């Protein structure tokens, strides 16, 4: 805990240091830092640069409407709606862009028809009744649709559509009072929005597409891997066993922090992914919602790990050199075995292969946890050591047991995902020795040195593996 | 943990039950449930209904532009930009609406001027060079501004502004190729956007305003209170002591769950609150960012509490009836004292009074934690009991000690907030007996029965208290 509080303090100190510089100094600092930050932003995820160029291209393409006379003559000044649509609809991932595009098109069509109907109805009520009726409709519709936007489920998928619905309805029904050519306006608006949305979606899908589904799949797997990395370093760090790269080890131990607050980004990615068509390893109705379950279990496990992390730097930690090295040994065993299990699960998920030895690792850590229990039960132990000395170790052991239970749950839910997504998850173990040799020759299977026992991991995408299997 | 996993299972079962109904059954179910859900949505937060009516009113007001001839003659068809601005800018809280409104106005002005400049520059390069130069500018600007949107800090506050910047720039510079009256178009667009933004902000601020700052302040305090409520019920639940209202108690214990994932909503509320002017108890530059620190500590504490919660329903829990009731007694003391401390801190924050007895409660829980330590140290204990029997209790005690440490940190950060916000946090203890009697007579001070020792909580807003003090 001390270290986490220190983190907050550091931020405050940084801010105070900035304040000491005075206004000019701060501005100068920011100007100097800006290009560095830009560079880092691009290096962290080069897809950001590609996305920016794609947006530029899409806007350029759609602005050609203004330059080609045949197109401009048909659409006139409403061509700007196409530019507007591209800018507003184009998002980072294909799913988000498709979702916004479809929302915009559907909402425009529905609201346009409704607005047209209301306009006709109002026309029947005479010149005096017209504005009153229109005003009433606009008020009721805007208020009720705004209220619907509070529904969590509707908000998640159709929020933008509802906004556009209010917008278009008001524009069509209200402007109808003045504009006699309401049908033509509606027609032009619809066609420019179609052109804009089509341009945005095409550029987004056909030039280096970023699939929200891929991102979700990878981020859920990476989160599991981060927990594994923490547990890998935890044993030696907790029991102060010297190991190489002390500082980098600490950085590894901090990796899990981003898992704690991953809920909202996962939820939005699931919503985006559900808009996406079949792509790469994922079919159209891939069980995206199941990732929320895996993500939730991963976070629950991360909360335990955050508690464990408190014991590495806390004051209580000093007397962890308990007289018996047996407890220490068993804790390290639990930690390293569950680390291996989680890391293999993450890898299996990333490569979409069935985890082969994860169950074995989990069983081993379960056995270690049971031996720890029976060791603490042994009648000779009570008299030997002070209870106080052993408290932190007991707490750590107890938390590690929790972590093992979560690792088991995560394994189960990944297997559920594999069975829900039918064909995608393949066995990682080739059946015969002959096949193994062939896979080695193709450079596809690399023996995994970091884990115990003979097992192999396949690191290629599905189709190629399928081909090889078919040929065999 | 078991219960949390069960939660996930329940959701799955619900879904399966829905699937069994068939398509028609599901649609019927949804139609029947819809009005109930609508009602619940409104009852949970009646401000949602008010907000929806406000949006309806604002759209109605701005559509009057179409009905009054003098206004319509000046603005013409561009009056629809005002409708668009109202719909897009109007958000739930004042801060969000102000932020979007200011972003839209500023971005429109800046991009409009830049677009106008570029249009002139392109005009100088002749008829052939014009489209090429404009195209180049549009591409570069759209790509670079899109890239800036990836900056987390810029994204948090100016994302919408950057979007509108690209939009307006493209519209002005591209349409300029055709439209000779570019200045007039820019002028009309700017004035309609001003009208729309002004209407939205006025309705939002002057009719039942929802301040993001108030919401943030209350939600941070409520989160602390939820942790207190958990700890209040935890002792009896953990040691299976019978108490009234078993089920409602369990519901209380689940209240903390929403705290775990509160980070993103707090961050966005801070960003909204920073746009807000002085209101109610908060001055203009209220230290909103400090709430992030309190929120972060609260979440850290909630992670420990989530771990603690795992011990209430887990299988390990059964042998918690350890032979010594002393450990149990001390754990309950720690739990109840830190619960009182957290609840008082939450109340003090809500009423913006200095917490009077929170420190005393924290000290008491600290003392209880220390007695627990020394009790476990006592030489006679080791031989009496099996170590295994005591593991869960020891773990619980250890986690509770962590919770106490976090409660201390939360108290410190609330005191920091009080000192940062200068005048706002007042002492809750009237100085003389005479004053107390007067406050009682005014119905302002209610003796707080739930906490130990003589202390009082003031539940009114600051100005009235100030008046009374000044009069005294």
* pLDDT > 50? residue A136: yes
Q: CB count, 10 Å around CB of A278?
A: 11
Which pTM was predicted? 0.81
Determine the average pLDDT of the residues in A101-118: 91
Output the six-digit token pair for B133.
Answer: 């130069």
pLDDT tens per residue across span A181-223: 677 777 888 888 999 999 999 999 999 999 999 999 999 999 9
Distance from CA of B354 to the nearest CA of A (A): 23
Distance from CA of A64 to the nearest CA of B (A): 9
pLDDT tens per residue across span A214-256: 999 999 999 999 999 888 888 777 666 544 445 556 666 788 8
Which stretch of DSSP H or E encloses residue A127?
A: helix A126-148
What local confidence, expressed as pLDDT, does residue B130 receive?
83
Output the six-digit token pair for B400.
Answer: 């509770």
Which stretch of DSSP H or E encloses residue A447?
A: strand A445-447
B371 touches chain A (CB under 8 A): no
Distance from CA of A166 to the nearest CA of B (A): 7
With contact defined as beta carbons under 8 Å apart, do B295 and B262 qualify? yes
Assign A455 a pLDDT band (cuts: 50, 70, 90).
Answer: very low
When mean pLDDT is compared across A261-270, A398-407, B46-55, B198-207, the lowest value belongs to A398-407
What is the spatial distance between Cα B115 and Cα A282, in angstroms, rounded to a whole number? 43
Q: Which residues of A touch B260 (CB under 8 A)?
A: 299, 303
With contact defined as beta carbons under 8 Å apart, do A294 and A361 qualify? no
With contact defined as beta carbons under 8 Å apart, do B414 and B348 qualify? yes
Residue B426 pairs with which residues in a beta bridge? B353
From the list A55, A293, A379, the residue facing B143 with the nearest CB is A55
By C-alpha distance, which of A125, A149, A152 is closest to A137? A125
Output the six-digit token pair for B352.
Answer: 């913006």
Q: Which residues of A touch B57 (CB under 8 A)?
A: 139
From the list A53, A175, A304, the residue facing B80 with the nearest CB is A175
A151 touches chain B (CB under 8 A): yes
Distance from CA of B356 to the nearest CA of A (A): 24
ipTM: 0.80
Q: CB count, 10 Å around CB of B420?
A: 14
Subunit contact B387:A376, Cβ cutoff 8 A: yes
SS3 (DSSP) at A444: coil
Determine the average pLDDT of the residues in A33-50: 90
Polymer length in residues for chain B: 472
- Give the C-alpha distances (Å, rounded to integers) separating A227 from A255, A449, B232, B396: 8, 20, 32, 23
Subunit contact B382:A382, Cβ cutoff 8 A: yes
What is the spatial distance between Cα A16 and Cα A9, in angstroms, rounded to a whole number? 10
What local confidence, expressed as pLDDT, does residue A128 receive?
81
Strands, E assignment, A362-436: 426-427
What local confidence, expressed as pLDDT, does residue B375 receive?
74
Q: Which residues of A touch B5 (CB under 8 A)?
A: 297, 409
A444 touches chain B (CB under 8 A): no
A interface test, pick of B170, B289, B369 with most A CB neighbours within 10 Å: B170
Output the six-digit token pair for B287.
Answer: 């230290």
Comma-separated ranges of CATH 1.20.58 domains in chain A: 212-419
- Give the C-alpha distances (Å, rounded to integers) separating A385 from A323, A392, A452, B320, B378: 7, 14, 34, 22, 11
What local confidence, expressed as pLDDT, does residue A431 receive?
42
Residue ranges of A 56-85 with Cβ closer than 8 A to chain B? 56-57, 59-60, 63, 66-67, 72, 77, 79-80, 83-84
Subunit contact A388:B376, Cβ cutoff 8 A: yes
* pLDDT > 80? residue A108: yes
pLDDT tens per residue across span B112-131: 889 888 888 888 887 788 88
What local confidence, expressed as pLDDT, does residue B323 receive?
47
From the list B59, B310, B406, the residue facing A1 with the nearest CB is B406
Q: Which among A48-62, A181-195, A346-360, B226-240 has the top mean pLDDT?
A: A48-62
Subunit contact A398:B406, Cβ cutoff 8 A: no
SS3 (DSSP) at A457: strand
Number of H helices, E strands in chain A: 20, 4
Q: Which residues of A touch B146 (CB under 8 A)?
A: 51-52, 55-56
Q: CB count, 10 Å around CB of B459?
A: 14
| Residues with pLDDT less than 50, chain B | 1-14, 242-245, 315-323, 429-472
A6 touches chain B (CB under 8 A): no
From the list B51, B170, B261, the residue facing A83 with the nearest CB is B170
Given the candidates 1.10.260, 1.20.58, 3.30.70, 1.10.10, the CATH classification of the domain at B212-419 is: 1.20.58
What local confidence, expressed as pLDDT, does residue B250 receive?
66
Subunit contact B167:A83, Cβ cutoff 8 A: yes
With contact defined as beta carbons under 8 Å apart, do B349 and B416 qualify? no
Subunit contact B142:A261, Cβ cutoff 8 A: no
* pLDDT > 70? residue A15: no
Which stretch of DSSP H or E encloses residue A372?
A: helix A358-377
With contact defined as beta carbons under 8 Å apart, do A460 and A444 qualify? yes
A135 touches chain B (CB under 8 A): yes
Sign of CA dihedral B52, B54, B55, B60: positive
- Give the C-alpha distances (Å, rounded to integers) separating A134 from A108, B67, B90, B195, B417: 18, 11, 21, 21, 51
Q: Which residues of B touch A52 (CB under 8 A)?
A: 143-144, 146-147
B interface test, pick of A18, A141, A268, A307 with most B CB neighbours within 10 Å: A307
From the list A60, A373, A386, the residue facing B138 with the nearest CB is A60
From the list B66, B146, B171, the residue facing A83 with the nearest CB is B171
SS3 string, chain B, reads CHHHHHHHHHHHHHHHHHHHCHHHHHHHHHHHHHHHHHHHHHHHCCHHHHHHHHHHHHHHHHHHHHCCHHHHHHHHHHHHHHHHHHHHHCCCCHHHHHHHHHHHHHHHHHHHHHHHHHHHHHHHCHHHHHHHHHHHHHHHHHHHHHHHCCCHHHHHHHHHHHHHHHHHHHHHHHHCCCCCCHHHHHHHHHHHHHHHHHHHHHHHHHCCCCCHHHHHHHHHHHHHHHHHHHHHHHHHHHCCCCCCCHHHHHHHHHCCHHHHCCHHHHHHHHHHHCCCCCECCECCCCCCCHHHHHHHHHHHHHHHHHHHHHHHHCHHHHHHCCCCHHHHHHHHHHHHHHHHHHHHHHHHHHHCEECCCHHHHHHHHHHHHHHHHHHHHCCCHHHHCCHHHHHHHHHHHHHHHHHHHHHHHHHHHHHHHHHHCHHHCEECCCCCHHHHHHHHHCCCEEECCCCCCCCEEECCCHHHHHHHHHHC
Assign A266 a pLDDT band (cuts: 50, 70, 90).
Answer: very high
User: Could you give the angle at the alpha carbon of B356 between the alpha carbons of B350 and B360, nearest 5°?
Assistant: 120
Output the six-digit token pair for A225.
Answer: 């891997």
A interface test, pick of B2, B4, B5 with most A CB neighbours within 10 Å: B5
* pLDDT > 50? residue A323: no
Q: What is the chain A residue with the closest CA to B392? A: A398
Radius of gyration for chain A, computed over Cα atoms and rounded to the nearest angstrom: 30
- Encode burial over B323-345: b for 16+ CB neighbours within 10 A, e otherwise: ebeebbbbbbbbbbbbbbbbbbb
A129 touches chain B (CB under 8 A): no
From the list A55, A77, A170, the residue facing B142 with the nearest CB is A55
By C-alpha distance, which of A157, A65, A55 is closest to A107? A157
Distance from CA of B158 to the nearest CA of A (A): 15
With contact defined as beta carbons under 8 Å apart, do A306 and A230 qualify? no
Q: Which residues of B touch A38 (CB under 8 A)?
A: 147
What is the spatial distance between Cα A387 and Cα B379, in angstroms, rounded to a whole number? 9
Distance from CA of B438 to the nearest CA of A (A): 43
With contact defined as beta carbons under 8 Å apart, do A147 and A159 qualify? no
Distance from CA of B345 to the nearest CA of A (A): 19
What is the spatial distance between Cα B300 and Cα B307, in angstroms, rounded to a whole number? 11
When mean pLDDT is compared across A125-129, A136-140, A268-272, the lowest value belongs to A125-129
What local confidence, expressed as pLDDT, does residue A381 receive?
54
B296 touches chain A (CB under 8 A): yes
Assign A144 a pLDDT band (cuts: 50, 70, 90).
Answer: very high
A128 touches chain B (CB under 8 A): no
SS3 (DSSP) at A461: coil
- What lies within 8 Å, CB to CB, of B443 at 6+ separation is none
Subunit contact B67:A398, Cβ cutoff 8 A: no
From the list B141, B398, B409, the residue facing A391 with the nearest CB is B398
* Residue that the structure tokens 């009072």 belong to: A177
Q: Which residues of A touch B319 (CB under 8 A)?
A: none
Q: Which residues of B touch A5 (CB under 8 A)?
A: 297, 409
DSSP string, A135-195: HHHHHHHHHHHHHHTTSHHHHHHHHHHHHHHHHHHHHHHHHTTT-TTHHHHHHHHHHHHHH
B258 touches chain A (CB under 8 A): no
From the list A67, A134, A178, the residue facing B72 with the nearest CB is A178
When mean pLDDT is compared across A71-75, A280-284, B385-389, the lowest value belongs to B385-389
From the list B4, B88, B388, the residue facing A376 with the nearest CB is B388
With contact defined as beta carbons under 8 Å apart, do B178 and A72 qualify? yes
By C-alpha distance, which of B336, B331, B308, B324 is closest to B390? B324
* pLDDT > 90? residue A63: no
φ, ψ dihedrals at A460, nearest 5°: -120, 170
Output the six-digit token pair for B363.
Answer: 């000290």
What is the spatial distance between Cα A127 and Cα A177, in angstroms, rounded to a whole number? 10
φ, ψ dihedrals at B180, nearest 5°: -75, -25
């Amino acid at each position: 805990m001390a270290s986490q509080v220190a983190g907050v303090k550091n931020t405050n100190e940084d801010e105070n240091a900035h304040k000491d510089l005075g206004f000019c100094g701060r501005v100068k600092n920011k100007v100097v830092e800006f290009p560095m930050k830009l560079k880092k932003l691009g290096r962290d995820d080069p897809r950001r640069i590609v996305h920016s160029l794609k947006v530029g291209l899409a806007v350029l393409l759609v602005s050609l409407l203004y330059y080609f006379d045949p197109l401009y003559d048909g659409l006139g000044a409403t061509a700007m709606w196409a530019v507007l649509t591209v800018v507003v609809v184009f998002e980072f991932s294909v799913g988000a862009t498709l979702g916004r595009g479809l929302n915009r098109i559907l909402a425009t069509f529905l609201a346009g028809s409704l607005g047209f109907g209301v306009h006709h109805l109002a026309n029947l009520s005479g010149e005096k009744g017209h504005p009153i009726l229109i005003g009433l409709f606009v008020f009721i519709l805007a208020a009720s649709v705004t209220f619907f936007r509070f529904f969590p489920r509707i908000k998640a998928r159709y929020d933008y559509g509802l906004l556009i619905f209010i917008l278009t309805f008001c524009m069509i029904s209200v402007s109808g009072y003045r504009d006699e050519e309401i049908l033509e306006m509606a027609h032009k608006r619809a066609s420019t929005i179609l052109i804009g949305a089509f341009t945005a979606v095409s550029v987004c899908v056909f030039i280096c597409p970023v699939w929200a589904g891929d991102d979700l799949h990878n981020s859920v797997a990476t989160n599991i891997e981060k927990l594994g990395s923490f547990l890998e370093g935890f044993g030696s760090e907790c029991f102060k066993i010297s190991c190489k790269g002390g500082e980098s080890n600490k950085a590894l131990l901090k990796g899990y922090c981003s898992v704690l607050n991953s809920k909202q980004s996962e939820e939005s990615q699931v919503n985006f992914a559900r808009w996406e068509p079949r792509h790469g390893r994922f079919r159209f109705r891939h069980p995206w919602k199941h990732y929320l379950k895996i993500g939730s279990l991963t976070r629950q496990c991360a909360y335990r790990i955050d508690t464990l992390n408190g014991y590495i730097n806390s004051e209580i930690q000093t007397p962890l050199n308990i007289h018996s090295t047996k407890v220490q040994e068993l804790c390290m065993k639990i930690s390293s075995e569950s680390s291996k299990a989680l890391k293999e699960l993450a890898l299996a998920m990333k490569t979409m292969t069935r985890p082969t030895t994860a169950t074995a690792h989990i069983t081993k850590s379960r056995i270690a946890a049971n031996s720890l229990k029976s060791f603490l039960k042994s009648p000779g132990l009570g008299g030997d050591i002070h209870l106080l000395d052993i408290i932190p170790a007991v707490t750590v052991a107890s938390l590690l047991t929790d972590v093992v239970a979560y690792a088991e749950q995560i394994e189960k839910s990944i297997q559920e995902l594999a069975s829900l997504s039918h064909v995608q998850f393949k066995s990682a173990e080739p059946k015969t020795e002959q096949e193994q040799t062939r896979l080695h020759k193709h450079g596809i299977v690399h023996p995994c040195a970091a884990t115990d026992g003979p097992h192999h991991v396949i690191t290629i995408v599905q189709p190629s593996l399928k081909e090889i299997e078919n040929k065999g």
